[in-house]
Amino acid sequence: MSEAIDHATLDPSRGPAEPLRLMAVHAHPDDESSKGAATMARYVADGVEVLVVTCTGGERGDILNPAMDRPEIKADIGKVREEEMARAREILGVEQRWLGFVDSGFPEGDPPPPLPEGCFAVQPLEVASEPLVRAVREFRPHVMLTYDEKGGYPHPDHVKCHEVSVEAFEAAGDPDRYPGTGEPWQPLKLYYHMTFTRERVTALHEAMERNGLESPYADWVKRFEDEAPPRWAVTTRVPCGEHFETRDKALLAHATQIDPDGFWFVCPLDLQREVWPTEDYHLARSLVDTELPEDDLFTGIREKVCL
């Protein structure tokens, strides 16, 4: 395993510093724009190489924008979502890679129906993880972003995305695992998105009410009263308020999924920047020394890679 993490101990006498690299692993097209988009835009602006990995094509996603709910779009939703993803990645300035799995859909009912045959969520772990291990070994990220074990919310593709991300983080640096997928590479830090935390949602809700605005978060705040405290604490808050416009433009690029008159855009950007100008994460794995709390995903890495 030691051979796989030589990049963590670079000596400046060995040549020019290598660029920092960030990989964000997501379940569907649009997830990258609703979770961590401003963070990615901030790091792109700082010269970091950023790759979004999208596990599925979103083929079973519902059309959530009434203006896009048309028969010709429903008939070719996979292609439409691919085109939306192309626009979003251009707005964010990131690279993007499809893993090629089929959307599992969100099973509804009591009891819920079985998942569709061959979809992403029913794949054996090693089958689902192999293309991500290959992507890690090719792109060589120093930092990976993914969801927690509940997927952020319990969509089966989000849960599977967590599983394959953890597997790839732990396996990509081991030359004995996943043979034939490239030279080993060990990422140094793995984070979980902490996007809709109780603290952030409550702060935005209270700020809107103070300013005489109707808050879209009232039901969320009420639900929080009956929920147990979250398992994962926020360890890292990345300042990125100046990139909120870019995040919103990327969201709007996913026109089948995002209603421009909907929830995402009710809270004014200036108020968001004033109240909560960060995107937040939990540091789940680290192979470098760091001190918590952090304000940079590359804390402990910059000192080694960017000497």
Residue-by-residue DSSP string for 88-120: HHHHHT-EEEEEEEPP-----SSSPPPPPTT-G
The answer to which of 2-6, 179-183, 251-255 has the lowest mean pLDDT is 2-6
148 and 105: one domain? Answer: yes
| Number of domains into which the chain is organized | 2
Burial bucket for residue 55 (CB in 10 Å: 0-12, 13-18, 19+): buried
Q: Which residue, 33, 102, 106, is CA-closest to 279?
A: 33
The answer to which of 150-159, 187-196, 283-292 has the lowest mean pLDDT is 150-159
User: Which pLDDT score is estimated for 192?
Assistant: 98
Q: What is the pLDDT of residues 21-61, one digit of tens each?
A: 999 999 999 999 999 999 999 999 999 999 999 999 999 99
Binding residues for Zn(2+): 28, 31, 158
Q: What is the pLDDT of residues 181-222, one digit of tens each?
A: 999 999 999 999 999 999 999 999 999 999 999 999 999 899
Which of 212, 231, 250 represents a domain boundary (last residue)? 231
63 and 206: one domain? Answer: no
Q: What is the four-CA torsion angle of 225, 231, 232, 233, rounded to 10 degrees? A: 50
Other CB atoms within a 10 A radius of the CB of residue 125 amount to 12
Report the SS3 class of residue 170. helix
Q: Which residue, 127, 195, 194, 193, is CA-closest to 160?
A: 127
Mean pLDDT score across all residues of the chain: 93
53 and 108: one domain? Answer: yes
Percent of the chain topping pLDDT 70: 94
- Whether the predicted pLDDT of 16 surpasses 90: no
204 and 64: one domain? Answer: no
206 and 188: one domain? Answer: no
299 and 223: one domain? Answer: no
- pLDDT band for 14, please (50, 70, 90 cuts): very low
- Whether the predicted pLDDT of 9 surpasses 70: no
Q: Which residue, 239, 234, 241, is CA-closest to 293?
A: 234
The pLDDT of 236-254, averaged and rounded, is 98
Which of 231, 257, 286 represents a domain boundary (last residue)? 231
CA–CA gap between residue 114 and residue 238 (Å, rounded): 39
User: Which pLDDT score is estimated for 1?
Assistant: 31
The phi and psi torsions of 293 (rounded to 5 degrees) equal -75, 160
User: Which pLDDT score is estimated for 288?
Assistant: 97
* CATH classification of the domain holding 81: 3.40.50.10320
Binding residues: 28, 31, 158
CA–CA gap between residue 24 and residue 168 (Å, rounded): 12
Q: Give the distance from CA 211 to its chain's centroid.
A: 31
Other CB atoms within a 10 A radius of the CB of residue 139 amount to 19
82 and 205: one domain? Answer: no
Which of 175, 207, 231 represents a domain boundary (last residue)? 231
- Whether the predicted pLDDT of 233 surpasses 90: yes
62 and 144: one domain? Answer: yes
CA–CA gap between residue 142 and residue 136 (Å, rounded): 10
> What is the maximum alpha-carbon separation in the chain?
63
- pLDDT band for 111, please (50, 70, 90 cuts): confident
CA–CA gap between residue 1 and residue 181 (Å, rounded): 16
185 and 264: one domain? Answer: yes
User: Which pLDDT score is estimated for 226?
Assistant: 84
105 and 245: one domain? Answer: yes
pTM above 0.75?
Answer: yes
| 8-state DSSP, 286 | E
- Whether the predicted pLDDT of 112 surpasses 90: no
132 and 268: one domain? Answer: yes
Name the residue range of residue 220's domain. 197-231
The answer to which of 65-79, 89-103, 222-236, 273-287 has the lowest mean pLDDT is 222-236
CB environment 163-197: b (16+ within 10 A), e (fewer) = bbbbbbbbbbbeeebbeebbebbbbbbbbbbbeeb
178 and 211: one domain? Answer: no
